[in-house]
Amino acid sequence: MSDEQSLSKITKEREKWEKTTVPSWLRRNPERKGEFKTTSGINIKRLYTPEDVKNLDYLRDLGFPGQFPFTRSLHATMYRGRLWTMRQFSGFGTAEQTNKRFRYLLKEGETGLSVAFDYPTIMGRDSDDPMCNGEVGICGVAVSSLKDMEILFDGIPLDKVTTSMTINGPASMLLAMYIAIGDKQGVPRGKLGGTTQNDMLKEFYAQKLCIFPPKPSVKLVVDIIEYCAKHLPKWNPVSISGYHIREAGSNAVQELAFTLADGITYVESTLERGLKVDDFAPRLSFFFAAHNNFFEEIAKFRAARRLWAKIMKERFKAKDPRSLWMRMHVQTSGCTLTAQQPVNNVVRVALQSLAAVLGGTQSLHTNSLDETLALPSEEAVTVALRTQQIIAHESGVVDTVDPLSGSYCVEALTNEMEERAMDYINKIDDMGGVIAAIENGFLQKEIADSAYKYQQEIDNKERILVGVNDYTVEEDWVPLKILRIAPDVEAEQLARLQKVKRERNNARVKKVLDKLHGAADRDENLMPTIIEAVKSYATLGEITNVFRSVFGEYQELIVI
Amino acid sequence: MTNIEQLIDGVLKGDRRFIAKTITLIENDLPESQKTVSLLYPHTGKAHIVGITGPPGSGKSTLIQKLVEELRRQGKTVGVVAVDPSSPFTGGAFLGDRVRMQELSTDEGVFIRSMATRGSLGALAKATKDAVKVLDASGKDVVVVETVGAGQSEVEIVKLAHTIVVVLAPGLGDDIQAIKAGIMEIGDVFVVNKADRENVNKAIMDIETMLSMNPEREKWKPPVVKTTAIMGEGIIELLDKIDLHRKYLEGGTIDTRRRQTVETELVEAIKEKVAGAIVDDLKKKGILDKLVQKILEKETDPYSVADMLLAKRLKRLKPS
Amino acid sequence: MSSEKKIRVVVAKPGLNSHDRGAKIVARAFRDAGMEVIYTGLRQTPEQIVETALQEDVDVIALSILSGAHLALFPKIMELLERKGLDDVLVFAGGIIPKEDVPNLKKMGIAEVFGPGTRTDTLVKFIRENVRKRK
Ligand code: B12
Ligand SMILES: Nc1nc2c(ncn2[C@@H]2O[C@H](COP(=O)(O)OP(=O)(O)O)[C@@H](O)[C@H]2O)c(=O)[nH]1
Ligand SMILES: [Mg+2]
């Protein structure tokens, strides 16, 4: 069909159709809207035909699964072999409570762990820090010292399960603790598998959990990348995250572009450290959101793979095929879920996860129906996990690789996503890179504007949200029982922390913290000393404070 | 309703709530506002007033945070007025300077107030100078005023501050060229902030070259200080220069500056009051509308009308 | 324009919670509705928020919190406000706050609580209708 003659025939026929069939139908059946747009403002056409993909070269642009440019998928047989990893982000209360939740989820068929830490932990503060009063264990699990991590992973064999940790500023410390537990369990470091999010760049403009200024932050990221390249061959040192960018309000194109721009920055920074691209690139991993617009999302995932493969091959001259792989985790988009008629969220999540699967993800978190109310209850998270299992085992969409390829619409959108993202990446390059684009507020402004626009579209009913601005009801019909954190969590955690501080060898702690200070001053790779520190039960807060004194603290550039 | 005496009393005692209320009263231009300022006037004139200006993003607010911290270490009390523009369309404003100074907000010796320009075209609000008076009268040793300077309008700050600090940063290089006209002549102290970035020394050289082209108006040679506000570096040196300038002013020039300030203030008050009274009178008698109509019909023009009005008043004022 | 009484609002983020999408959206909506908005930035203590409200002499305090720490932080804020004589300031809140907590918060003096899905003009209207005559 791609030969010129048949294409011009199609064009002729399409024009005829537009002059005859369409108007006569439109006369009695006008379209619902003047234009149909995706969240990124891409205009969706009434119909896609071979004309829309006339420049598409199958072998060049799509290829075969497991082959460059990986548009169709990273692996040759995809889900016919292994399904994606079902990984539910979870953590609340004390380490004991979260450990229990982990074991429950594994029993129910989850295939990987994902830890949510509480606010004190993600901000690098101990539970007894005065700023953390009332926040301990509320939004994740509290981890102040190795003791807490030991309890958190009690009875979970680290050589059998992979663990993802959503931690950024203090990523090096939590990875160090994980390594320490592995050592205790007797698991060789070569067998420790998992991911530290460790993506500081997006913190500055999306998640906003910043501790140190950009430069030392990136230094710490690269320390982990370097350490893992040498010692933890199965660990993903960084999960370059578009999810937070999207959830902070960006559209799909911005999510894709800014994530890849961050990725480029990490590659450049690691090369500057003196590593060779193929020594670390295979372990870089990615994290995206699955939002509402079904085809746009699928196109985004496919474009992301293709674009990254090209960047790695052309810009960074990577040779190892695995350096070209964009392995991704996907989470359904929390901000699409509604407080009104929350049961409807199950349907939204199902559609979004279907998009992630059709987009070829390696790993998936499905949000729970009580997303807008509290951390997921056990019942709610079970439904979320079952949603993945239903897609995997009942729908049949997993039986063939990249089933939507060849759809004129999906291929055209994939091209469009790639082009638009590339425009942004070039713009950011011209500005001097991501850090420059953070310091001049460009990225913040882009996201703030998209977030505001999205809100206005809902307020004006240009965007219908079922149950929110249309199809509303007076009284919601399902009262959900939400998870509440027991009030004694904080006291329990404080008692444990005190005990740790009392019983450890404090002289040893002081010595190792001094050593850490020296290493930070000398700009050494800090991982080995951090491992030493956590093993002596130096706390997260103590280690972070050493870094605060050397690196300074970041002050946000506020753009609304 | 709190009465004026109570407000004044509170301000003079340094009570933060009363300071805040008094500034609001002035900002909203309520009937009591003028009387309040008059009553506070005798208590002003003690504070050293430092104006901080420079392009957006150069680090003014961050620098103020650090300057104030250092002043506090020296035992001085400080007031800050930070001005941001109001939207000409909605009248709303986003006042974003304070964010950088939040660590100071619980310090009893510091008072920070954000202020929108509210229809004033310049870089200062109409009420800024009076807000500064309130802080001065409340006993603050130093009052810092932050304004956005991106063109000519910041020259207004000359009328208000004793010492003007112009904050620039490398990477805003093109802007330095663009703003030099307005800003380079008013600075008493120049700061190149963000010294942690590349091209600091080039920025310093650029500024020194530009300064050397300024006509010499006084004996004071504006120094250029290098700072890294986020790390608190160069702050003590900057404060030394500000202090040096204060001493220089106190060696005589301050009187000239004070005279100038008072003179401008007087002239502006006269303009506002006298012209205001005339316009009000015309409005009340319905003459203003008629004059406007005549101008619209091109029978006359605004300047001729003003001349005519002036001639009439002068005649009336003339001693017979 | 200068003699018109402006509504001054502080949009505050108490505690460690750093979800700022909603706070920025409401701040922008208030600004576009003609109000003067002071944003505290992230991770503020109750003391900082109350001092800001006091020095800025605001008419409204808008608390945005999604972390579930409201029951620990809001009482402190309300207590401080009362102690400093700021009980005439309109305080309202939004974010992720379970329905069952709302009666308690109202008892403390929080005028209203708005959750996900609230139109921004509803919030603007609420301020206009409830901003109290200041002392
Ligand atoms: C977006 C989001 C994120 C983004 C935040 C991006 C950003 N910069 O803001 C990302 C992905 C980074 C993120 C991370 C985390 N998140 Co989050 N996140 C959400 C999510 C999905 C949507 C929030 C949102 O922005 N909605 C859109 C805005 C416009 O709505 P809104 O904030 O609700 O505002 C509206 C109203 O509430 C109201 N409003 C808001 N503020 C105010 C203020 C006033 C005064 C008024 C009157 C009204 C008002 O008006 C707005 C317009 O309608 C919510 C769940 C949900 N769907 O609500 C979880 C949620 C808030 N997150 C949660 C958690 C736990 C986290 C983490 C702590 C996870 C972790 N352990 O690592 C981190 C912390 C990050 C941080 N920065 O603090 C939990 C909180 C649990 C709880 N309270 O018990 C939630 C509820 C999800 C869940 N069920 O688990 N998150
Ligand atoms: N790298 C660097 N950034 C700074 C420095 N001082 C301020 N900044 C940052 O520059 C941005 C703007 O600062 P701000 O004080 O708000 O500037 P203002 O608009 O001039 O008031 C903020 O992100 C600050 O953190 C500095 O010395 N070095
Ligand atoms: Mg500023």
| Nearest CA-CA partner of B168 in B197, B142, B139 | B197
pLDDT confidence of residue A420:
98
Which residue of B57, B62, B94 is in closest CB contact with A560? B94
Please write the tens of the pLDDT for every residue from A144-203. 999 999 999 999 999 999 999 999 999 999 999 999 999 999 999 999 999 999 999 999
Q: Do residues B291 and B171 both lie within one domain? A: no
Cβ of B194 less than 6 Å from ligand 2: yes
- Based on the fold, state whether residues B229 and B103 are members of the same structural domain: yes
Q: What is the pLDDT of residue B197?
A: 84
Residue B146 lies in a domain: yes
Q: Is residue B260 part of a domain?
A: no
Mean pLDDT for the stretch of residues A19-45:
95
Instruction: Tell whether B116 is within 8 A of chain C (Cβ).
Output: yes
Domain membership of residue B255 (yes or no) is no
Q: How confident is the model at residue C135 (pLDDT cuts 50, 70, 90)?
A: very low
Lowest mean pLDDT among A69-78, A122-131, B268-277: B268-277
C-alpha closest to that of A165 among A187, A149, A189, A186? A149
Nearest CA to ligand 1 atom 18: A334
3-class DSSP assignment, residue A30: coil
A367 contacts: CB under 8 Å, gap ≥ 6? A331, A332, A333, A334, A337, A345, A349, A376, A384
Searching chain C, which residue's CA lies closest to the CA of residue A556?
A: C41
Q: What are phi and psi of A140, to 5 degrees?
A: 165, -175
Interface of B with C in 23-62 (CB under 8 A): 23-24, 27-29
Residues B158 and B284 placed together within one structural domain of the fold: no
Query: Does residue C17 carry a pLDDT above 70?
Result: yes
A98 in contact with ligand 1, CB cutoff 6 A: no
Instruction: Please name which ligand lies nearest the alpha carbon of B100.
Output: 2
> Residues near A9 by Cβ (< 8 Å), separated by ≥ 6?
none
Residue of B nearest to C31 (CA): B92
pLDDT of residue A104: 94
Query: Considering the domain boundaries, does residue B233 fall inside one?
Result: yes
- β-bridge partners, B226: B192
C98-118 per-position pLDDT tens digit:
999 999 999 999 999 999 999
Q: How many CB atoms lie within 10 A of CB C129?
A: 7
Q: State both tokens at B222.
A: 């504006």
User: What tens digit of pLDDT does each residue of C42-94 get?
Assistant: 999 999 999 999 999 999 999 999 999 999 999 999 999 999 999 999 999 99
How far apart CA A258 and CA A282 sit, in angstroms, is 20
Residues 6+ apart with CB under 8 A from B270: none
- Spell out the per-residue pLDDT of chain B, length 320, in tens: 468 899 999 999 999 999 999 999 999 987 888 899 999 999 999 999 999 998 888 999 999 999 999 999 999 999 999 999 899 899 999 999 999 999 999 999 999 999 998 877 677 777 899 999 999 999 999 999 998 765 555 567 777 899 999 999 887 655 555 555 667 778 899 999 999 888 888 888 888 888 887 776 668 889 999 999 988 999 999 999 999 999 998 887 767 777 777 787 788 888 878 888 888 888 888 888 888 888 888 888 888 888 888 888 777 766 65
User: Given an 8 Å threshold on Cβ–Cβ distance, is B91 in contact with C51?
Assistant: no
CA distance B231 to chain A (A): 7
Domain range for B25 is 1-43
Residue A334 CA to ligand 1 centre (angstroms): 9
CATH number at residue B190: 3.40.50.300
The shortest CB-CB distance from C98 to any of A247, A373, A452 is to A373
A480-A481-A487-A488 Cα dihedral, nearest 10 degrees: -140
Query: Which positions 422-461 of A are in contact with B (Cβ < 8 Å)?
Result: 440-441
pLDDT at C3 over 50: no
Ligand nearest to the CA of A444: 1
> Taking CA atoms, what residue in A is nearest to B101?
A555
Q: Are B151 and B133 part of one and the same domain?
A: yes
- Do both B104 and B227 map to the same domain? yes
The answer to whether residues B80 and B146 touch, using CB atoms and an 8 Å cutoff, is yes
CB of C21 closer than 8 Å to CB of A248: yes
- Measured CA to CA, the distance from residue B238 to residue B236 in angstroms comes to 5
pLDDT at B80 (0 to 100): 98
Residues B219 and B278 in one domain: no
Q: Check pocket membership of B196 for ligand 2, CB cut-off 6 A.
A: yes
Percent of chain A with pLDDT over 70: 99
Residue A329: its pLDDT value, please?
97
CB A528 within 8 A of CB A179: no
In this predicted structure, what is the pLDDT of residue A150?
Answer: 97
User: What does the pLDDT read at residue B205?
Assistant: 86
Cβ <8 Å between C52 and B87: no
Structure tokens at B223: 């120094």
Across the interface, which of B99, B230, B231 has its CB nearest the CB of A558? B99
Cis peptide before C14 (omega within 30 of 0): no
Cα diameter, chain A: 87
Answer yes or no: do B9 and B92 share one domain: no
Residue at B287 is within a domain: yes
Query: For residue C83, with 0-12 CB atoms within 10 Å meaning exposed, 13-18 middle and 19 or more buried, which class applies?
Result: exposed
CA–CA distance, B108 with B14 (Å, rounded to integer): 10
In a domain, B286, yes or no: yes
CB-based contact C117 A249, cutoff 8 Å: no
Q: Are residues B83 and B131 in the same domain?
A: yes
- pTM over 0.90, yes/no: yes
Domains of chain C: 8-128 (3.40.50.280)
Q: Do B100 and A440 touch (CB under 8 A)?
A: no
A522-560 pLDDT per residue, tens: 989 999 999 999 999 999 999 999 999 999 999 888 888
Task: Tell me the residue type at B138.
Answer: S
- Mean pLDDT within A488-505: 97
Quote the pLDDT of residue B152: 52
> Which DSSP string corresponds to A490-558?
HHHHHHHHHHHHHHS-HHHHHHHHHHHHHHHHTT---HHHHHHHHHTT--HHHHHHHHHHHH-------
Structure tokens at A175: 């990875």
Q: Per the domain annotation, does B207 fall within a domain? A: yes
Write down which residue in B250, B279, B307 finishes a domain: B250
Residue where one domain finishes, among candidates B192, B224, B250:
B250
pLDDT value at position C2? 38
**How confident is the model over A287-327, as pLDDT tens digits?**
999 999 999 999 999 999 999 999 999 999 999 999 999 99
- pLDDT at C36 (0 to 100): 97
Alpha-carbon distance of A179 to A535, in angstroms, equals 10
pLDDT in tens, A327-377: 999 999 999 999 999 999 999 999 999 999 999 999 999 999 999 999 999
Inter-residue contact B185 to B211 (CB < 8 Å): no
Q: What confidence score (pLDDT) does residue B171 get?
A: 72
Q: Which residue of B has its CA nearest to C26?
A: B94
Whole-angstrom Cα distance, residue A226 to residue A274?
Answer: 9
Minimal CA separation from B94 to chain A, in Å: 9
pLDDT digits over B156-212, tens only?
777 789 999 999 988 765 555 555 566 777 889 999 999 988 888 888 888 888 888
Domain count, chain B: 3
Residue A249 pLDDT more than 80? yes
Verify that B20 and B97 share a domain, yes or no.
no
Of all protein residues, the one whose alpha carbon is nearest to atom 26 of ligand 2 is B194
Q: Is A277 in the pocket of ligand 1 (CB under 6 A)?
A: no
- B115 and B201: one domain? yes
Same domain, B274 and B136: no
Query: How distant, in Å, are the alpha carbons of A93, A117, A158, A217, A329 from that of A164?
Result: 18, 11, 12, 20, 10
Q: From the candidates A555, A557, A558, A559, which should be mutated to test the interface with B, based on the most B CB atoms within 10 A?
A: A555
Of the given ranges (A6-20, A428-442, B264-278), which has the lowest mean pLDDT? B264-278
Per-residue pLDDT at A461: 95
Helix (H) or strand (E) holding A457: helix A442-459
For chain A, the average pLDDT equals 96
Asked whether residue B208 falls in the same domain as residue B183, the answer is: yes
